[in-house]
Amino acid sequence: MTVAAPWKKNQVAELVTLIKAHPTIGIVTVGNIPGPQMQKMRSRLRKSGEMRVAKLNLIKIALESAGDGKENLASMIEYLDGQAALVATDINPFLLYKQISSTQTKAPARGGETAPDDISVQKGETPFKPGPIVGELGKAGIPAAIEKGKVVIKKSKTLVNKGEKIPREVALMLTKLEIYPLTVGINLLAAYEDGTVFMPDVLNVDHDAFLTNIRLAASNAFGLAVEVGYTTPATIEPIITRSTRDAIAVLLEAGYPARGKMDLLIGRAHSQMLAIALKADGLDEELSNMVSGAATAAVSSAPVSATEDDAKKGDDEDDEEEEVAEDEAAAGLDSLFG
Task: Count Cβ atoms below 10 Å from residue 218 Cβ, excluding itself.
Answer: 11
Report domain extents, the chain.
6-104+185-205, 119-182, 211-335
Q: Where are the alpha helices (DSSP H) in 229-306?
A: 236-254, 262-277, 285-301
Three-class DSSP category at 132: coil
The pLDDT of residue 335 is: 41
pLDDT at 149 over 60: yes
Task: Give the CA diameter of the chain.
Answer: 125
Q: Answer with the residue of higher pLDDT: 242 or 275.
A: 242
Q: What is the pLDDT of residues 55-66, one digit of tens each?
A: 999 999 999 988
Work out whether the CA dihedral 243, 246, 252, 253 comes out positive or negative: negative
What is the pLDDT, as a whole number, of residue 293? Answer: 67
Mean pLDDT of the chain: 81
Considering the segment(s) 6-104+185-205 as one domain, its CATH architecture is 2-Layer Sandwich (3.30)
What is the pLDDT, as a whole number, of residue 295? 58
Lowest-pLDDT range of 63-67, 86-90, 141-145, 219-223:
63-67
- Please tell me what DSSP assigns to residue 301: H
What 3-state class would DSSP assign to 9?
A: helix
Is CATH 3.90.1150.10 the right assignment for the domain spanning 119-182? Answer: no
Check pLDDT > 90 for residue 119: yes
- Position with higher pLDDT, 38 vs 77: 77
- How does pLDDT run across 271-292, given as a tens digit for each residue? 787 777 777 766 666 777 766 7
Distance of CA 142 to the CA centre of its chain: 40
Please name the residues in contact with 190: beta carbons below 8 A apart, sequence gap of 6 or more. Answer: 26, 27, 76, 79, 197, 198, 199, 200
Stated as kind and residue range, the H or E segment containing 221 is: helix 207-228
Q: Distance (Å, rounded) from C-alpha 213 to C-alpha 181?
A: 33
Split at pLDDT 50, 70, 90, the class of 13 is: very high
Q: How confident is the model at residue 327 (pLDDT cuts 50, 70, 90)?
A: very low
- CA nearest to 160, candidates 145, 173, 176: 173
